[in-house]
Chains A and B, each alone.
Chain A
Amino acid sequence: MTRRDALRLGGTVAAGVAVLGCGGGDDGRTVTVFSPMGEVKNQALARQVDRFMALRDDLRVEVMPVPWDQGHAKLLTMIAGGNPPDVITATGQWMAEFRAMGAIEDLTSWHASWPHRDAFTQTALLRCESSTAIEEGRVYGLPLELTTRAMFYRRQWLEEQGLETASTRAGWRALLERITDRDRGRYGYALRGARGGFWTWWPILEEFSGTNEWFDEDQNCIINSPEHVAGLTYWNDIYRDGLAPADAVNWGYNELVQGFWSGICGCIEQDPEVVRTCLDHGMDESTLVTAPMPAGPRAHVASNDIWILSISRNAKNPDGALAFYEWMMSPEQLIAYSKDASVLPTVKQGMDDPYFGQGFLRPFMDMATNTSLLQNWYPSYLPEMGEFIEVLVTEEQQKMLLGRQSPQETLDRLAGFLGRAQQRYVERHGPDTPRPPGTAQSLAP
């Protein structure tokens, strides 16, 4: 069995499992759009598709909605199995990897004569460049939306205690203590103890250490430094001190958001589309307030990213895919989509739109456009990162939350795993690894 055969075999098995149920015809009319952005955004994109199809009855565009936490694995298996979707929605963190696999079409020649090529904001274009969606003048994808984290609070709980939203981590901890009332079943924070907990505690470690670097010059992982440990201790203590529900050790995204809007927890940090979820569950200006993320002792961190729309290099219907792409990426449609999904727009025209600059979305806009903040980053180029975030981190953080190991021991284990992963990567690809944004290397001309 040759290596290529093994690759094909494995990929086919994987893709067979992954794409079961994901339809798609070969009639030349069908365009498939992979959408792993979460329910609110997937539905908003599907409504855009409906509008497009009303204009183009010669095409049938099918949205393949996938929960975001399964998106990466599913897209990967579809591509590896030789059955990619025509249009791909991917986060900036995935871009380098899919480009390295040769899965993304080069759109440079189309983009050169596209009338809206100057419509995007500087922030969105910078994220495109740091994600390699745009590299050395070549265009592989354009920004669909900006995404960032901000804090959601239950307004009444704050008002009862005469509190304002917190601007520092120290103030935030004091706030959590004040609004927690276990006898009434009220907890300060909807803590993410299970899958995806990494996304909430890693920015805190960056705030406490003041850096988004993961490795030193000798490729040793530095995330177990005393400053990082202090950050993780801060997060762990929230749970250990009873400021989050005991069940939160098993909470993933759904339980977390539900824990907030159902009134068990007083605050949660999330992406802007959760505003829509809260409003759909009966919250309004009298019960909900959003605020920028609090700043840590050494840095104020923005968990920014973008969602990018690209076309698959092996699209079954490249012309139909480009027709949809061109229509969807026009400023008018991007703004319509952003309003529908309650997310941040990527075009200059949207910056002047009062819809995004006020109300619940204002803190998100402030976080996303403030270029002085430290940019959250992690080494997504390492093949072991899926294993790291999805299996190892969950296991180790739960052991810590349950008191079976200290934050120091937790980070020692995680740093050991990633240090070995980085060494392997350097052995194969050389020491010139991707670097976090905002470092000397990436700022060099």
Chain B
Amino acid sequence: MKKADPYLLLAPAYLLIAGFLFYPMATVFLLSLREYQLMDPLNTPFVGLDQYAFMLGDEYFWRSLWNSVVWVVVSLFFQFLLGFCLALLLNSTRFRGRGIFQAVVFAPWAVSGFLIAIIWAWLLNGEFGLVNDLLIRAGLLDQKVGFLSREETALLACVLANIWFGVTFFAVMLFAALQAIPPSLYEAADMDGATAWQSFWRVTAPMVKTAIVITILLRAIWIFNWADLIWVMTGGGPAGASRTLALYVFQKAFLGLDFGYSAALGVALTVVSLAFTAVFLRVTRFYGDEAAI
């Protein structure tokens, strides 16, 4: 009886994980092996890997995947850069009124993605948007630009909104990590004659590395899977210029009603996320140099 006890105690957790994680994932995978058009629900033949084969030749899939890469990499780079700067600023004891700023700076994170999308869509509106007006007044533009209606700018306009939104998350996480660094380390560095630059690279950076890696990983996956901002701002358009893979999954399922192919795309989305995670953790040596992932 004693031998079974641990398993019995762990069983509820296993069941929960199996029920809420593995069962839906397995269901999606099984769905991806069938042709499942919701408009023809009595005809769902098993097609094996046909939908995956179709995906490889689907130009919309490859374009969406590339857009996802741009969407994640550019958003993440600037979110991290600006977020880290903000965290350092907030952590500085010489910064007056930092208590107020600490409270205010996190506000965007509390705003819903839907609302952010609407605000930015109005700001970037081609006819009466504030951004156009400011740029024309500053002499940087001759005439109004439809940022959301041009193929070259639509995705970057969404990225801009995403950066504004996500900077604060990095700031919160990295600020917390900075606060955890014992002041004695900086005092020791000071006594050894380290410059501010050396203190940053030799003390601050190694101490917050774990927080940076985890935050970047989390944000990368969230941004990769996040479709509502783009959906509200551009609907993935014009002509797919801002359609990411996550948005393509949504469109296929709930607009095209093709649940079979949408499930296959969803599986691809998961595989890409997992592959990225594995590579990222290895490159950043998150588990140490010798540990295998």
**Contact: B149 with A7, CB < 8 Å?**
no
A11–B251 Cα gap in the complex (Å)? 17
User: What residues of B have a CB within 8 angstroms of the CB of A70 in the complex?
Assistant: 254
Flag B21-58 by CB within 8 Å of A: 1 or 0 each. Answer: 00010011011001011111111100000000000000
Contact of B256 among A13, A248, A390 (CB under 8 A): A390
**Contact: A402 with B235, CB < 8 Å?**
no
A404–B237 Cα gap in the complex (Å)? 14
A402–B235 Cα gap in the complex (Å)? 16
**Contact: B31 with A9, CB < 8 Å?**
yes
Residue ID in chain A nearest B242 by CB atoms: A250
Contact of A250 among B38, B237, B251 (CB under 8 A): B237
Contact of A391 among B27, B28, B255, B259 (CB under 8 A): B255
**Contact: A386 with B255, CB < 8 Å?**
yes
Contact of B38 among A3, A73, A399 (CB under 8 A): A73
Flag B156-191 by CB within 8 Å of A: 1 or 0 each. Answer: 000000000000000000000000000000000000
User: What residues of A have a CB within 8 angstroms of the CB of B251 in the complex?
Assistant: 390-391
User: What residues of B have a CB within 8 angstroms of the CB of A383 in the complex?
Assistant: 37, 39-40
A181–B172 Cα gap in the complex (Å)? 49
Residue ID in chain B nearest A424 by CB atoms: B40
User: What residues of A have a CB within 8 angstroms of the CB of B264 in the complex?
Assistant: none
A112–B50 Cα gap in the complex (Å)? 51
User: What residues of A have a CB within 8 angstroms of the CB of B151 in the complex?
Assistant: 402
User: What residues of A have a CB within 8 angstroms of the CB of B237 in the complex?
Assistant: 193-194, 249-250, 394-395, 398
User: What residues of A have a CB within 8 angstroms of the CB of B39 in the complex?
Assistant: 76, 97, 383-386
The main secondary structure of chain B at its interface with chain A is loop
User: What residues of B have a CB within 8 angstroms of the CB of A10 in the complex?
Assistant: 27, 31, 34, 36, 41, 44, 259
The answer to whether residues A76 and B31 also contact, given A7-B42, A247-B127, A428-B43 and a CB cut-off of 8 A, is: no
A285–B280 Cα gap in the complex (Å)? 64
The answer to whether residues A195 and B149 also contact, given A76-B257, A391-B252 and a CB cut-off of 8 A, is: no
B108 contacts chain A at the CB level, 8 A cutoff: no
Contact of A14 among B240, B255, B259 (CB under 8 A): B259
Residue ID in chain A nearest B151 by CB atoms: A402
**Contact: B44 with A250, CB < 8 Å?**
no
**Contact: B38 with A77, CB < 8 Å?**
yes
How many interface residues does chain B have, given as a range? 35 or more
User: What residues of A have a CB within 8 angstroms of the CB of B27 in the complex?
Assistant: 9-10, 13
Flag A90-126 by CB within 8 Å of B: 1 or 0 each. Answer: 0000000100010000000000000000000000000
A401–B240 Cα gap in the complex (Å)? 13
B148 contacts chain A at the CB level, 8 A cutoff: yes
A416 contacts chain B at the CB level, 8 A cutoff: no
B225 contacts chain A at the CB level, 8 A cutoff: no
Q: Which of B36, B37, B41, B125 has the most CB of A within 10 A?
A: B41
Residue ID in chain A nearest B60 by CB atoms: A395
User: Which B193-235 residues sit within 8 Å CB-CB of chain A?
Assistant: 234-235
Within the complex, the shortest CB–CB distance from A180 to chain B, in Å, comes to 13
**Contact: A245 with B234, CB < 8 Å?**
no
How many interface residues does chain A have, given as a range? 35 or more
**Contact: A193 with B238, CB < 8 Å?**
yes
A390–B38 Cα gap in the complex (Å)? 14
**Contact: A247 with B31, CB < 8 Å?**
no
User: What residues of B have a CB within 8 angstroms of the CB of A144 in the complex?
Assistant: none
User: Which B128-158 residues sit within 8 Å CB-CB of chain A?
Assistant: 128, 144, 146, 148-151, 154
Flag B50-73 by CB within 8 Å of A: 1 or 0 each. Answer: 000000000010000000000000
Contact of A245 among B126, B253, B259 (CB under 8 A): B126
**Contact: B256 with A246, CB < 8 Å?**
no
Contact of B126 among A7, A76, A246 (CB under 8 A): A246
A264 contacts chain B at the CB level, 8 A cutoff: yes
A133 contacts chain B at the CB level, 8 A cutoff: no
Contact of B128 among A1, A185, A252, A428 (CB under 8 A): A185
Contact of B30 among A6, A80, A247, A264 (CB under 8 A): A6
A216 contacts chain B at the CB level, 8 A cutoff: no
A70–B37 Cα gap in the complex (Å)? 17
A264–B42 Cα gap in the complex (Å)? 47
Flag A175-213 by CB within 8 Å of B: 1 or 0 each. Answer: 000000000010000000111000000000000000000
Within the complex, the shortest CB–CB distance from A260 to chain B, in Å, comes to 13
**Contact: B38 with A387, CB < 8 Å?**
no
Residues in chain B within 8 A of chain A (CB atoms): 24, 27-28, 30-31, 34, 36-44, 60, 125-128, 144, 146, 148-151, 154, 234-235, 237-240, 251-259
Known: A246-B146, A384-B37. 19 other contacts (CB 8 A): A6-B44, A10-B41, A73-B255, A194-B237, A194-B238, A195-B235, A247-B148, A249-B146, A250-B149, A252-B235, A383-B39, A386-B39, A386-B255, A387-B257, A398-B238, A399-B239, A402-B151, A402-B238, A404-B239
Residues in chain A within 8 A of chain B (CB atoms): 1, 3, 6-7, 9-11, 13-14, 70, 73, 76-77, 80, 97, 101, 185, 193-195, 245-250, 252, 264, 383-387, 390-391, 394-395, 398-399, 401-402, 404, 428
Sample of 14 A–B contacts (CB below 8 Å): A1-B30, A9-B30, A9-B31, A70-B254, A76-B39, A246-B149, A247-B127, A247-B148, A250-B149, A383-B39, A386-B38, A387-B252, A390-B255, A398-B238
